[in-house]
Amino acid sequence: MKKIKTTPLAPQEFEVEQISENEANIMAYPFETGYAISLAHPLRRFLLSSSVGYAPIAIKIEGAKHEFDSVRGMLEDISDFILNLKEIRFKLLGNVTETEINYSFAGPCTIKGGDLTNNEVEIVTPNTHLATLNEDSTLNFSIRIAQGIGYVASEDTYDSLEEGYIALDAYFTPVRSATYKIENVLVADNPNFERVIINIRTDGQISPLDAFRNSLEVMYAQLAVFNSEISVKAPTTIERAEESPDLKKLTAHIDSLGLSARSFNCLDRSSIKLVGEIALMSTNDLKNVKNLGKKSYDEIVEKLQEFGYEVGGDLADDVVSALKKKIEAL
């Protein structure tokens, strides 16, 4: 009689094949039939969409007013200069998530990515061409570099910029490619088990293995919403508040507000994760969130109102207590 299983076999083998500094194969096995692709496909999506990287989000070039301008003595016009800049991959040093760096070059010279390295930023694509200056040319510019995920259009990187700055489309994703394949593997004379091989290639801002670890963390965080416990004891005041519709809405992630990328990033960088954290803030507290402009402030207030709450509004004491407990547990 064929053995009947009550639980699926859990994979025990994990291997990393380092192909190069920026490319690796991640392998795990043995999986039951169909399980490998069930895990590999979402992991690939998280690798491509949720890996944290760095990109220039705005630039100010002395003598240039817009991206269709030119600089005397520079071979490239500003639009070509910006396209070249976007090919250069930056990595901020320390725990900095956003900074502005000033550069100055005098010709004749050819400027490459490596020439932008200093004690604030590392260039992981040092051979990428940026600009060519002739002998009587000077080039002075400032770049604002930020940390982020995915792609952010120029109109969302800043609500407003100081005069002379050009907002840039930002492509933060450091994972250049993520692919997988499924192979059969033999387990106890059964050839129908599977091995998954995930190939990850990055641009050098992050190692393939770190990118994989980060994607796992994001995946676990997304699944955590289902990891609830059911209590049968008589609820306390706070527990009753935890069951209220108000608290369920207030403990929703700020994603639920449908904010623009700019507004969301300002809150996220200030470690504001829940809708209730905004509802507990005063208007002054919200206005003082770092890099939060008036447009983003107005958007957050409007979205919160659509959600049914006001910034600095009155909440029931038991709901406030339960909400603060939830926030402390983050």
Sign, Cα dihedral of 5, 13, 27, 208:
positive
Which residue from 72, 66, 290, 265 is spatially nearest to 153, judged by alpha carbons?
265
**Whole-number Cα distances in Å, 286 to 161, 301, 304, 329:** 20, 9, 12, 22
**Average pLDDT for the chain:** 85
In contact, 27 and 195? CB cutoff 8 Å: yes
Q: Minimum mean pLDDT among 197-211, 234-248, 285-299: which range?
A: 234-248
* 279, part of any domain: yes
* 250, part of any domain: yes
For the ranges 151-165, 188-202, 279-293, the one whose mean pLDDT is highest: 188-202
> Mean per-residue pLDDT for 141-167?
84
How confident is residue 82, by pLDDT bands cut at 50, 70 and 90?
very high
Sign, Cα dihedral of 204, 210, 213, 219:
negative
- pLDDT at 323 exceeding the cut of 50: yes
* 99, part of any domain: yes
In this predicted structure, what is the pLDDT of residue 61?
92
Beta-bridge partners for 281: none
Beta-bridge partners for 53: 148
Q: What is the pLDDT of residues 108-140, one digit of tens each?
A: 999 999 999 988 899 999 999 999 999 889 999
Q: What is the pLDDT of residues 291-305, one digit of tens each?
A: 888 888 888 888 888
Count of domains for the chain: 3
Question: What is the domain-level CATH number for residue 141?
Answer: 2.170.120.12
How confident is residue 241, by pLDDT bands cut at 50, 70 and 90?
very low
In contact, 196 and 28? CB cutoff 8 Å: yes
For residue 192, the enclosing domain spans 13-51+175-225
**Whole-number Cα distances in Å, 162 to 67, 142, 167:** 15, 12, 10
For 226, other C-beta atoms within 10 Å of its C-beta total 6
The answer to whether residues 125 and 274 belong to one domain is no
> Mean per-residue pLDDT for 51-66?
90
Q: Phi/psi of residue 100, each to 5°?
A: -120, 130
* 4, part of any domain: no
The answer to whether residues 108 and 42 belong to one domain is no
* 253, part of any domain: yes
- pLDDT at 228 exceeding the cut of 70: no
In contact, 157 and 170? CB cutoff 8 Å: yes
The answer to whether residues 248 and 197 belong to one domain is no
The answer to whether residues 162 and 57 belong to one domain is yes
**177 or 314, which is more confident:** 177
Q: What is the pLDDT of residues 248-276, one digit of tens each?
A: 777 788 877 888 888 888 888 888 888 88
Question: What is the domain-level CATH number for residue 27?
Answer: 3.30.1360.10
| Bridge-based pairing state of the strands 151-152 and 170-171 | antiparallel
How confident is residue 25, by pLDDT bands cut at 50, 70 and 90?
very high
Q: How many Å apart are CA 145 and CA 219, to the nearest integer?
A: 27
Contacting residues for 143 by C-beta, under 8 A, at least 6 apart = 56, 58, 59, 85, 100, 101, 103, 116
The answer to whether residues 156 and 181 belong to one domain is no
- pLDDT at 47 exceeding the cut of 70: yes
How confident is residue 2, by pLDDT bands cut at 50, 70 and 90?
low
Side-chain half-sphere exposure of 308, counting CA atoms within 13 A: 10
> Mean per-residue pLDDT for 78-107?
91
**Whole-number Cα distances in Å, 240 to 263, 292, 314:** 33, 35, 19
The answer to whether residues 130 and 277 belong to one domain is no
The answer to whether residues 32 and 179 belong to one domain is yes
The answer to whether residues 255 and 268 belong to one domain is yes
